[in-house]
Structure 1
Amino acid sequence: MARDYYGILGVDSGAGADEIKRAYRRLARELHPDVNPDPTSQERFREVSTAYEVLSDPEKRRVVDLGGDPMDPRGGGGGGGDPFGGGFGGFGDIMDAFFGNAAGGGRGRGPRSRVQPGADALIRMELSLQECSTGVQRDLTVDTAVLCTVCTGSGCAEGSSPTICDTCGGNGEIQSVQRSFLGQVVTSRPCPTCRGFGEVIPDPCRQCAGDGRVRSRRSVAVRIPAGVAEGMRVRLAGQGEVGSGGGPAGDLYVEVEETPHEIFTRDGADLHCTLPLPMTAAALGATLPLKLLDDSIEELRIEGGTQSGTVRTLRGKGMPRLRSTGRVDGAGDLMVHVEVAVPTKLDKEQTELLRQLAKLRGEEQPDLVGGARNGHGLFSRLRDTWGR
């Protein structure tokens, strides 16, 4: 009577190859003799390995589906399903069950391409606040790897070409066998002769020494949009380092370094400045010309009685707002911080005039809290305290 190989693996007769392999991996991890030394489990492991060998072979599986047993010696089938023998149930599949394809049977990845993509490059550019506001266009001198003009990236001298590596036979890797608790394990590592490329260059290019690229200083035009700020980067696609073997170039990033301005400070898209205002102008009011960042003049109206610390906001007079798309959308505001300047040196006439003003306003003896009008200021309380 034919054995139920589908039932041994616990899958349906219509199961696909991936489902059969997953079932075998799960059972192999559970029943392998080095994991489970129980004699019953060892016998079960042999059955599972045999079932996987049969169902992984399309011809043998066809015999099973027709009602036969391809492993029956009387029917001309295979042998006893040795889990460490050849075929689909061999050692490679057992290693695959425990560690996946990377460890199973020493299966390598093959040679890697000599043509590799290039790295990105970074250069910093100092800009004044005014240049950040208006945007600039400059020619930058950069030092990067460029395509070798002699070999055009091949790395070979004229009239020569790469040859197959004798050490690895073109595989790009060599294998070694080590013993483990599961038996012999075949591992792969890059070939030391060809460095994993599978080929060597017997006659390298004299200019690039076989790398396919050389370093060169060149000029690159860059346009910085209006509204950029400290730390922002402008990307120039394909202007970075050319890859080895003539691979595609990376990108060049230009990073903005914003230098301080002598008058304006920046907060995002808003600008701030301090306006020193004479005491008389703060008291009487005035109209002052204010020079903006773009050198235009804005008439600033100061109302009479303006106090120190007052902030006047000029809408839309700040920095351009730069969207992530690189487009400018409006502008920020300019905050003018008024700072009333008290004179430090007065002549006799000026002193007398201020005394007269203080007398007219009843401010000969000011009070810090409440003023002289209600008699409850700080100076009044001090006089009351010491007068007792």
Structure 2
Amino acid sequence: MAKEDYYNTLGVDRNASEAEIKKAFRKLAMKYHPDTNQGDAKAEKKFKELNEANDILSNEEKRAAYDRFGHAAFEQGGSGGFDQGFGHGFSGFSDIFDEMFGDAFSGGRKNTGRQSGRGSDLRYNMEISLMQAFKGDKAKIRVPASVQCKDCKGIGSKNGVAPETCNACNGYGKVRAQQGFFTIERTCPTCQGSGQVIKESCSVCKGSGRIQKQKTLSVNIPSGVEDGTRIRLSGEGEAGLNGSPPGDLYIFITISPHYIFQRDNANIYCRVPIPFTSASLGGHVEVPTVDGGRAKITIPAGTQSGFQFRLKGKGMSILRSKERGDMFVEALVETPVNLSKRQKEILKEFEDEGKNEKNNPETEGFFSKVRDLWEDLKD
């Protein structure tokens, strides 16, 4: 029985480009693939014909011979001189697997070496005081991390001897098994896909190339650092695989609350109790500053609770700057408690003498509005 024309088999004309042939083969091969047509003898036969046609027409020399001599070019002893072995019949479908699944179905490429990769980055949470954030500091930290084994220099073999090519896969990292029409590839169990094997593992790291260790590191905390700042220590993360570069260590700064000062960006706030008499008559109060110094504040007569005094340039250090923020001192007028009999008498006299708007303008103003409200509610 005469063979069908290869161009007709793929459904393309004789002037079809290489891309058109490949596209047609891909479409039909998927349709007649034995895995999707199990037990269908016609589909199996058609699939073989598609592979044969694609093997010829996708090869420039074979296609030229076919165009000139037809099927006779590939018959035993034919003038074309080409030998069509069974092993070549699946080359086109192998290309499809390469496109769809990458290297999982691709053969012929040796693995360039054992698995490698930059080490993982590490995170370290560090809590510092407000004073450390203001002045800057140099702190020591201890970080558990994997480091490169010094005995094998990260290779994993005894005395750092270079790994050998895996005999099971010849360095490809994959082994093949024939299943029906297909050659199935899987990761080489001997070398775990690396293509290389270590004859004798390093006794220190047991072949991993890395060991666990507590590292003591010095951290420079810049003055003016803010809560949530991230400091990077290059190369202080996990060691890389098989001698690859290590990762980095990222230190996240948290500033602990202070018992006197509150920080808002570059400004410092604090609340200072003011005696009732000082707030009424005026006076002075001495307050601490974040730099460890002292500042004297003049309290004007009649100072109310909540009033803020601004101390320019007495706030926090500003990161990468010589300037500082400001300090704001909020007055909290303290009502006296545990009064003696005489103190109560004096305050009573003060109350009797001070029942006018001049002494208590806020009080009189508020209750004036309250009286207006009550009048409005009557209407």
Q: Per the shorter chain, which TM-score range?
A: 0.7 to 0.9
- Picking from 177, 192, 195, the partner of 2:192 is 195
The farther-off stretch of 329-338 and 33-42 is 33-42
Residues 167-217 of structure 1, C-alpha deviations (whole Å, 9 max, x = no match): 3333323334556xxx536132242x3222223222222333223333344
Q: State how far apart, in whole Å, the 2-side matches of 1:235 and 1:20 are.
A: 55
Instruction: Tell me if the contact between 1:290 and 1:298 (Cα under 8 Å) persists in the aligned partners.
Output: yes
Inter-partner Cα distance in structure 2 for 1:268 and 1:30: 67
TM-score norm. by structure 1 comes to 0.72
2:184 paired residue among 186, 200, 204: 186
Q: What is the deviation of 1:70?
A: 5.9
Indicate how the Cα distance of structure 1 residues 273 and 177 shifts in structure 2: closer, same or farther if over 3 A, else same. farther
* Residue 361 (str. 1) matches residue 354 (str. 2): yes
Q: For residues 285 and 36 of structure 1, do their structure 2 counterparts lie closer, same or farther at Cα, with a shift above 3 Å needed?
A: farther
The residue correspondences of 1:117-196 to structure 2 (distance < 5 A) are 117-158=118-159, 161-178=162-179, 184=182, 186-191=184-189, 193-196=190-193
CA distance in 2 between partners of 1:358 and 1:57 (Å) = 112
Which residue of structure 1 lines up, in the alignment, with residue 55 of structure 2? 53
Q: How do residues 268-307 of structure 1 correspond to structure 2 at under 5 angstroms?
A: 268-307=265-304
How far the C-alpha of 1:319 sits from its partner, in A, is 2.8
1:192-341 equivalent positions in 2, closer than 5 A: 193-322=190-319, 327-328=320-321, 330-341=323-334
User: SS state of the match for residue 123, structure 1?
Assistant: strand
Corresponding residue to 2:345 among 352, 355, 364: 352
Partner-residue secondary structure (3-state), 2:290? coil
Give TM-score scaled by structure 2 length.
0.74
Deviations 1:201-236 (A, max 9, x none): 222223332233333444322211122233332111
1:92 correspondence with 2:94: yes
**1:252 Cα deviation from its structure 2 partner:** 1.9
1:188–1:363 Cα change, 3 Å: same
Residue type matched to 2:208 in 1?
Answer: D
Secondary structure of the residue aligned to 1:53 is: helix
In structure 2, give the amino acid aligned to 1:165: C
Cα distance between partner residues in 1 of 2:210 and 2:106? 38
Aligned residues with identical type, % of pairs: 35
Specify which structure has the higher proportion of helix.
Answer: 2
Give the deviation of 1:133 after TM superposition. 1.6
- CA shift in 2, pair 1:343/1:294, >3 Å: same
Task: Report the residue type matching 2:173 in the other structure.
Answer: G
Partner Cα distance (1:244, 1:150) in 2: 15
Q: Which runs of 5+ in 2 are unaligned?
A: none
Change (3 A) 1:355 1:374: farther
Cα pair 1:60 1:70 within 8 Å, conserved? no
Q: Distance in 2 between matches of 1:60 and 1:45?
A: 20
CA shift in 2, pair 1:72/1:275, >3 Å: farther
Partner Cα distance (1:91, 1:125) in 2:
57
Alpha-carbon separation, structure 1, partners of 2:33 and 2:331: 84
Matches of 2:113 and 2:234 in 1, distance apart?
26
- Counterparts of 2:49 and 2:11 in 1: how far apart (Å)? 7
SS state at 1:146 partner: strand
Counterpart contact for 2:281–2:302, Cα < 8 Å: yes
Cα offset for 1:69? Answer: 6.1
CA distance in 2: counterparts of 1:20 and 1:333, whole angstroms: 77
Partner AA of 1:125 in structure 2: M
RMSD over aligned Cα, in angstroms?
A: 4.5
> For 1:246, what is the secondary structure of its paired residue?
coil
Amino acid at match of 1:229: E
Tell me how far 1:342 sits from its aligned partner: 0.5
Q: Contact (CA 8 Å) 2:11, 2:24: kept in 1 or not?
A: no
The verdict on how the C-alpha distance between 1:184 and 1:372 changes in structure 2, with shifts beyond 3 A counting, is: closer
